[in-house]
Chains A and B, each alone.
Chain A
Amino acid sequence: SQTIHQWPATLVQPVGSPLSLECTVEGTSNPNLYWYRQAAGRGLQLLFYSVGIGQISSEVPQNLSASRPQDRQFILSSKKLLLSDSGFYLCAWNGGTANTEAFFGQGTRLTVV
């Protein structure tokens, strides 16, 4: 069966420090991968999605970037965190076609101080 791993679960980082959140999927190949940010009252904001290795689409211009170095690995990064980057980040995957449901990781609570 397929599983999705996202870590760390919580993270406290100072302003200006770098960020690296990792997400890996097991049990499937060539998944679509997503990074969302969830904020109270704002739902799930799509940040990045990827349909294949090295293919990243950015939905919202911001201080973050994403990379997909391997088929089942998706990384969310920042060179210098801002206070406004605090939030709850979710990784998700679905099959290679649009009519498949998405499966979510447990999320990372990032607090920038």
Chain B
Amino acid sequence: AQSVSQHNHHVILSEAASLELGCNYSYGGTVNLFWYVQYPGQHLQLLLKYFSGDPLVKGIKGFEAEFIKSKFSFNLRKPSVQWSDTAEYFCAVSSSGNTPLVFGKGTRLSVIA
């Protein structure tokens, strides 16, 4: 069964700092990769997704993620974080066919002034 690892449980950054959140998955076949965000008090929403093509994916709010197949990774990045980026971030993966969407344990990001 596929699994997703997010190595950072809680990240604290100052405003304008650069962000990189790690995500690794365990599945050798074709995968679909997602990053979701949950702002305080709100429901989960999609940041970006990768299905095929360019491994560098641009999402909303200045986020991007890079799919590195050889490393089974899909790390999330943002060059300069803002206070409003404070949220919990979840990496998720599904494989081909009707397999379920599996999530990592999430990374809580706190951005301080």
Chain A interfacial positions (CB closer than 8 Å to B): 32, 34, 36, 41-44, 46, 49, 51, 57, 59, 90, 92, 94, 96-99, 101-102, 104-107
Assuming A34-B101, A46-B100, is B106 touching A98 (CB within 8 A)? no
Assuming A51-B98, A96-B98, A98-B94, is B32 touching A41 (CB within 8 A)? no
Is there a chain A Cβ closer than 8 Å to B28's Cβ?
Answer: no
Do residues A46 and B103 form an inter-chain contact, with CB atoms below 8 A? yes
Interface centre among B32, B44, B49, B106 (most CB of A within 10 A): B44
Assuming A43-B90, A98-B96, A99-B51, is B102 touching A104 (CB within 8 A)? no
Query: Which of A44, A57, A94 interacts with B103 by CB under 8 Å?
Result: A44
Q: How many residues of B contact A (CB 8 A)?
A: 25
Assuming A101-B49, A104-B44, is B101 touching A94 (CB within 8 A)? yes
Residues in B neighbouring A59, C-beta threshold 8 A: 100
Do residues A90 and B44 form an inter-chain contact, with CB atoms below 8 A? yes
Chain B interfacial positions (CB closer than 8 Å to A): 6, 9, 32, 34, 43-46, 49, 51, 90, 92, 94-106
What is the chain A residue whose CB lies nearest that of B107?
A43
Interface centre among B90, B95, B99, B101 (most CB of A within 10 A): B101
Assuming A49-B100, A98-B98, is B105 touching A43 (CB within 8 A)? yes
